[in-house]
């Protein structure tokens, strides 16, 4: 728990908070939609939680330039409600409730990254307040620039540890005019993962390519009272600006699925059917938690080169299926990213240890396969222990140099991304080696 | 001129060079394809030029993952020769002769950025040698990651001032199966620029959208012995995986061009015709230099939000047309980026002053329009003076903190991006305020 919570309304108020905290040596923890799952919002060293719920305005919209400037407390669902009337959207879709500032901080993505990229690809510019209260405008509003170090992409994904985001300019996109969704089941994870690979290799423009394992289909069948075949399943979204281009893409995907032994496909063409298909996918976590109301969920987040996904899910699934903890899998298969949703009882030490063991197994396997311990959730406190293995000494050194340079007092969200401790002599926060 | 030139063959040799230079306090200037135009390769404070011509190997290729690992001295044209047989390409197209390491350093792009993005979007990972000789692997090979600060994108565009790139892993793409090119002329720059905006707003997938002003069409007509209408002209490339999708896109673009008063379009459908059209565009600079063999070219590079491009080109063109220096314009219109190719006599001080005045006019106008002084060429020594106006104090401070932290001795390509001077007392290089 933090020692104090403040709710600023403007960048100027954030500057005042930051200057006061720096003077008093109080850690600062930005607080957005509170949907992050790696402990980003915790205050392990005490401090001041900076709640952005009052800073949730849309400041400007340019339909011509396809960009919008918002305050960081605005939710992406609220932004999309506003954009819809202009035929536009901000396609990234992390957990519902996420705020755009938090999404920048954690460099999230979601099911649409295969088409639109991650936050790193969709933030044009930000205003950030540094530990000493200086305001930084990270970039102009031009679509591209080579004018010096890329501060936008340095602060995106820095999880509040280098500065506090007070304004964000995002790229927005036209809502595709035509969109179909396809559901196909497979006899093996390998056949499904290879189908996605084949689709990418063929250059087919897909909007989404999601994989559910058999356990997850079981969960969704129970929760939604459906009777889908309980086998590895792919959900594709195909979208474009003409019916012909969508039909061409759909035909090509279905042919590739068939070659890999895919079952009879279900094609959703009308908007309500498509929405229903993606609603069920989007609510997978809640469906699962509804089945185990007494348990909590640990969501893993490894990501590997696409060619290794099948192997990694295969190895992971053997461990998961052998475990007594329920742990279905959903994957953003087009990105090589998957989540195991491990259900466990936090009051039972054996459960906690088993969930940790499974998560650690997947991380180490992913790192062996040239992957990352977190594809889209961020480091927070939960993944700190894996960073040295993933990055090596040189990169860890570089991150610490940047952190020390921009936050010498260690007050910006300390204990996230890089470990901190309080020096017993001086009382100051210092970076651990 | 540098004091010495070395040609390392491996990362280990680069490490040895860097350690020696650091010990002896010798500035280090990486040297790739030597096509950069902002003075990146100069040695204004003396030092060691590190020539990467021997480090030009392809180290690995993954067709499955659409990525390739290369040494930095390899040219993008050579890489594409190799990739062609696999049906793939690395689409970014700066000046012919550019090396991939230099392209990373300057964060270049070119005519295909409207579809594929810039180097920032197409580098997966790099190996970089820091000033103290430490090797940094900036990232895993996963398509996305939220595991700490984005070092890849920090080093892309840092112009050798934070470290020296010794290995690069790039995203590569399937060569589109079908491709048409379209040429349309307009009565005004505004009508042409608006047509590109309309195309983007309609969500039409374009491969390229290039604008030539009337002066440039004159130049190309003379050089290629063609008789195109000497008016503002758009060149579009439309590509995709089915003939239908390309035809749909072409129809949509032509309809939009017609609405804006576009002339009778010329459509190139066979590969040779398309190649010829883009060859002429690609060789625009050489065509121009052929017409004025006694002059040199200063290429400007401003970039603004797309909605401001027409206004900026219009204002710039009035200045350029009124000047006695020839200065045709080519624009990557889909990105809001354009180049005026100002021909001048370097031995004539009045010419130099006039070229500088024109360039400075465009930069200041671009900055007023929320743009950048360099869309894709980088800062080098040429744009240093504009950075404070573009970025403001906070961002300049942040860049200096990063530079000082990673290169405390100021030896990595000093005097590029940020100004340096030699302290007369100590003889050491220090950052200017």
DSSP string across A139-168: --SSS---SSS-HHHHHTTSTTSS-EEEEE
CB pair distance less than 8 Å for B66 and A200: yes
Mean pLDDT to the nearest integer, A101-111: 97
Interface contact B45, partner A, CB < 8 A: no
Cβ-based neighbours of B106, under 8 Å, separated by 6 or more: A146, B36, B38, B40, B94, B119, B157, B159, B376, B377, B378
CB pair distance less than 8 Å for A145 and B406: no
The alpha carbon torsion through A375, A377, A379, A380 (nearest 10 deg) reads: 180
Q: Which CATH architecture has domain A287-368?
A: 2-Layer Sandwich (3.30)
The alpha carbon torsion through B307, B308, B309, B312 (nearest 10 deg) reads: 170
Candidates B121, B148, B241; nearest CB to A417: B148
Q: What's the start-to-end Cα distance of chain B, in Å? A: 25
Alpha helices in B186-242 (DSSP H): 189-201, 214-224
Among the listed residues A404, A393, A417, A402, the one whose alpha carbon sits nearest the alpha carbon of residue A150 = A402
Alpha helices in B296-383 (DSSP H): 309-322, 349-368
Q: How many residues does chain A have?
A: 433
d(CA B288, CA B286): 5
Closest-CA residue of chain A to B375: A145
Total Cβ atoms within 10 A of residue B322: 8
Candidates B137, B241, B367; nearest CB to A203: B241
In this prediction, residue A172 has a pLDDT band, given cuts at 50, 70 and 90, of: very high
Interface contact A336, partner B, CB < 8 A: yes
User: In the CATH hierarchy, which top-level class contains the domain B288-368?
Assistant: alpha beta
Angle at which helix A243-259 crosses helix A189-201, to 10 degrees, equals: 140
How close A225 comes to chain B (CA, Å)?
Answer: 35
For the purposes of burial, counting CB atoms within 10 Å of the CB of B177, is it exposed (0-12), middle (13-18) or buried (19 or more)? Answer: middle
Residues of B in contact with A416 (CB under 8 A): none
Candidates B201, B306, B395; nearest CB to A143: B306
In this prediction, residue B164 has a pLDDT band, given cuts at 50, 70 and 90, of: very high
Residues of A in contact with B306 (CB under 8 A): 64-66, 143
d(CA A207, CA A194): 18
Candidates A241, A305, A373; nearest CB to B65: A305
Interface contact A412, partner B, CB < 8 A: no
In this prediction, residue A309 has a pLDDT band, given cuts at 50, 70 and 90, of: very high
pLDDT value, residue A324:
97
d(CA A31, CA B299): 46
In this prediction, residue A112 has a pLDDT band, given cuts at 50, 70 and 90, of: very high
Tokens in use for A388?
A: 């040295």
pLDDT tens, residue by residue, B72-84: 999 999 999 999 9
Hey, CA dihedral for A110, A116, A117, A123, is it positive or negative?
Answer: negative
Contact B51, B7 (CB under 8 A): yes
Mean pLDDT to the nearest integer, B236-248: 94
Total Cβ atoms within 10 A of residue B427: 8
DSSP annotation of B324: S
d(CA A237, CA A408): 47
Q: What's the start-to-end Cα distance of chain A, in Å? A: 25
Domain ranges of chain A: 4-174, 178-285, 287-368, 386-431
Q: Residue B433 pLDDT > 90, yes or no?
A: no
Q: Residue A269 pLDDT > 90, yes or no?
A: no
Given the candidates 3.40.50.450, 3.30.465.10, 3.20.20.70, 3.40.50.2300, the CATH classification of the domain at B4-174 is 3.30.465.10
d(CA A384, CA A177): 43
pLDDT value, residue A382:
95
Angle at which helix B349-368 crosses helix B387-406, to 10 degrees, equals: 90
Cα A226 off chain centre by: 28
In sequence order, the β-bridge partners of residue B136 are B128
pLDDT value, residue B187:
97
Q: Where are the beta strands (DSSP E) in B241-325?
A: 266-268, 296-299
Which residues 212-251 of A are in CB contact (within 8 Å) with B? 240-242, 244-245, 248-249
Interface contact B171, partner A, CB < 8 A: no
How close A107 comes to chain B (CA, Å)?
Answer: 6
Residues of B in contact with A407 (CB under 8 A): none
In terms of DSSP bridges, do strands A329-332 and A337-344 run parallel, antiparallel, or are they unpaired? antiparallel
What is the complex's ipTM, to 2 decimals? Answer: 0.97
CB pair distance less than 8 Å for B337 and A174: no
How close B221 comes to chain A (CA, Å)?
Answer: 31
Q: Residue A42 pLDDT > 90, yes or no?
A: yes
* Order of all β-strands in the sheet with A178-185: A266-268, A178-185, A233-240, A208-212, A329-332, A337-344, A296-299
How close A256 comes to chain B (CA, Å)?
Answer: 14
d(CA A14, CA A29): 12
Mean pLDDT to the nearest integer, B168-180: 96
Cβ-based neighbours of B410, under 8 Å, separated by 6 or more: B403, B420, B428, B429, B430, B431
CB pair distance less than 8 Å for B203 and A174: yes
Residues of B in contact with A246 (CB under 8 A): none
Residues of A in contact with B125 (CB under 8 A): none
Tokens in use for B181?
A: 């090119």
Calculate the alpha carbon distances from A167 to A123, A124, B153 in Å: 11, 11, 21
d(CA B145, CA B54): 32
Fold match flag (A178-285 vs A287-368): yes
d(CA B325, CA B359): 12
Candidates A64, A200, A245; nearest CB to B244: A245
Contact B387, B403 (CB under 8 A): no
Q: Which one of A126, A149, A416 would you mutate to disrupt binding with B, by most B Cβ within 10 Å of its Cβ?
A: A149
Interface contact B138, partner A, CB < 8 A: yes
Residues of B in contact with A401 (CB under 8 A): 405-406
Q: Residue B65 pLDDT > 90, yes or no?
A: yes
Interface contact A197, partner B, CB < 8 A: yes
Angle at which helix B284-291 crosses helix B271-282, to 10 degrees, equals: 50
Residues of A in contact with B200 (CB under 8 A): 66
Calculate the alpha carbon distances from A152 to A168, B125, B149, B212, B307 in Å: 10, 18, 11, 31, 22
How close A182 comes to chain B (CA, Å)?
Answer: 19
CB pair distance less than 8 Å for A148 and B379: yes
DSSP annotation of A216: H
Candidates A143, A150, A249; nearest CB to B156: A150
Place of tokens 């930000």: A126
Q: Residue B269 pLDDT > 90, yes or no?
A: no
Cβ-based neighbours of B24, under 8 Å, separated by 6 or more: none
Interface contact A109, partner B, CB < 8 A: yes
Share of chain B above pLDDT 70, in %: 100
Q: What is A178-285's CATH topology?
A: Alpha-Beta Plaits (3.30.70)
Residues of B in contact with A397 (CB under 8 A): 130, 134, 136
pLDDT value, residue B281:
94
Closest-CA residue of chain A to B305: A142
Q: Residue A433 pLDDT > 90, yes or no?
A: no
Residues of A in contact with B337 (CB under 8 A): 142-144
Q: How many residues does chain B have?
A: 433
């Amino acid at each position: 728990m933090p020692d104090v919570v403040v709710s600023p309304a403007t960048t100027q108020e954030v500057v005042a908070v930051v200057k006061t905290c720096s003077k008093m040596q109080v850690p600062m923890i930005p607080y957005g939609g509170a949907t992050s799952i790696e402990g980003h919002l915790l205050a392990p060293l005490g401090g001041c939680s900076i709640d952005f719920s009052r800073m949730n305005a849309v400041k400007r919209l340019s339909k011509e330039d396809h960009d919008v400037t918002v305050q960081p407390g605005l939710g992406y669902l609220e932004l999309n409600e506003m954009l819809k009337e202009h035929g536009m959207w901000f396609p990234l879709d992390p957990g519902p409730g996420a705020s755009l500032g938090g999404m920048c901080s954690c460099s999230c993505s979601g099911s649409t990254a295969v088409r639109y990229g991650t936050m790193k690809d969709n933030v044009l510019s930000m205003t950030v307040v540094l530990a000493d209260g200086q305001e930084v405008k990270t970039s102009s509003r031009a679509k591209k620039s080579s004018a010096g170090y890329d501060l936008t992409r340095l602060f995106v994904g820095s999880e509040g540890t280098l500065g506090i985001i007070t304004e964000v300019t995002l790229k927005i996109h036209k809502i595709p005019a035509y969109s179909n969704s396809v559901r196909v089941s497979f006899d093996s994870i390998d056949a499904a993962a290879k189908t996605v690979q084949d689709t990418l290799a063929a250059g087919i423009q897909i909007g989404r390519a999601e994989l559910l394992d058999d356990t997850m289909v079981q969960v969704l069948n129970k929760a939604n009272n459906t009777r889908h075949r309980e086998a590895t399943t792919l959900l594709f979204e195909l979208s474009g600006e003409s019916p012909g281009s969508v039909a061409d893409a759909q035909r090509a995907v279905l042919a590739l699925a068939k070659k890999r032994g895919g079952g009879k496909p279900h094609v959703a063409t009308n908007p309500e059917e498509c929405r229903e298909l993606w609603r069920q996918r989007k609510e997978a976590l809640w469906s699962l938690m509804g089945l185990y109301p007494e348990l909590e969920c640990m969501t893993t987040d490894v990501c590997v080169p696409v060619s290794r996904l099948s192997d990694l899910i295969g190895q992971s699934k053997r461990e998961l299926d052998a475990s007594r903890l329920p742990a279905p899998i959903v994957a953003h298969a087009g990105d090589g990213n998957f989540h195991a949703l491990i259900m466990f009882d936090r009051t039972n030490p054996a459960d906690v240890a088993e969930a940790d063991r499974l998560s650690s197994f997947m991380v180490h396997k992913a790192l062996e396969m040239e992957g990352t311990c977190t594809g889209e959730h961020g480091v927070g406190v939960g993944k700190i222990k894996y960073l040295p293995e993933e990055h090596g000494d040189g990169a860890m050194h570089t991150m610490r140099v940047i952190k020390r340079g921009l936050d010498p007092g260690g007050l910006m969200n300390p204990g996230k991304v890089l470990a901190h401790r309080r020096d017993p002599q001086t009382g100051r926060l210092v970076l651990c080696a």
